Amino acid sequence: MKIALVDSGLGLLSAAAALRALRPDADLVLSTDPDGMPWGPRTPAGITEHALACARAAAEQQPDALIVACNTASVHALEAIRAELEPDIPVIGTVPAIKPAAAAGGPVAIWATPATTGSAYQRGLIREFAAGVEVAEIPCPGLADAVERADADAVAQAVAAAAALTPADTRSLVLGCTHYELLETAIRAAVPGPTFFGSAPAVAGQALRRAAPAAVATEGNRTLLVLRTGRKEELPPEALTYPEGRAL
């Protein structure tokens, strides 16, 4: 079985590690875009262009399923990627875990990028899945970029700033950017108490359910292919600072 993941950068590591845990034998293709990142400040058309390019590069490897492991790309490019690749390759998007967080009980806090915080997309999810629940939207400027650089000082400052905005009575905290799932330990230290909700386990499970049937490979035969703006390269050293990167 081969699963491909697409993101601008390291945000896909969480879902990739979840896939490794569920299917240690699976071959993985990680398609990122260091030449074009960050995607967040781009126009919707620009995000779609870059996400499609990464998806096409991954699709050349003939995966059994493809995960768009990025909230921003899922908002703007998911339908275009599905239109091009499905039904040959099932495409799974990433949605912030607002529904299970609200079901677990509020108040709920959602940590997300400034572009996503307050967006029509996120507000729509809140209306649909968290009606009647107290929700605080917490912008986290610079946090995804700090994760990408593996800049511990910048991560600590951004986490502290977001923690200061998070209501003290928060019971459920949604990690609304895939990059943030790499920081769960640091965020728990800054915001003790809430139950955390990320998207990686659910996305990984959905990808495996939708993947075409494949023979189980032996653990020694599993492969990891890294595409960086279409080029075959190694995982960047920053990825190896996170347990999820080392697990691959």
Q: Is 54 one of the annotated active-site residues of the chain? A: no
- Which pair of structure tokens corresponds to residue 47? 């995000």
The total of other beta-carbon atoms located within 10 Å of residue 41's CB is 12
Task: List phi, psi (to 5°) of 197.
Answer: -130, 115
User: Per the residue annotation, which of 6, 18, 130, 177 is the catalytic one?
Assistant: 177
Secondary structure element (H or E) that encloses residue 136, with its range = strand 135-139
CA–CA dist 135, 66 (Å, integer): 31
Name which of 170, 105, 164 is nearest 140 in CA terms: 164
Helix, strand, coil proportions of the chain in percent (round to 5)? 50, 15, 35
- Which pair of structure tokens corresponds to residue 231? 């080029």
For tokens 């896909």, name the residue: 12
CA atoms within 13 A on the CB side of 113: 20
User: Per the residue annotation, which of 59, 70, 110, 211 is the catalytic one?
Assistant: 70
Label the pairing between strands 172-175 and 224-228.
unpaired
CA 20 to each of CA 167, 183, 236: distance values in angstroms, whole numbers, following the listed order: 35, 19, 19
Just list the catalytic residues. 70, 177
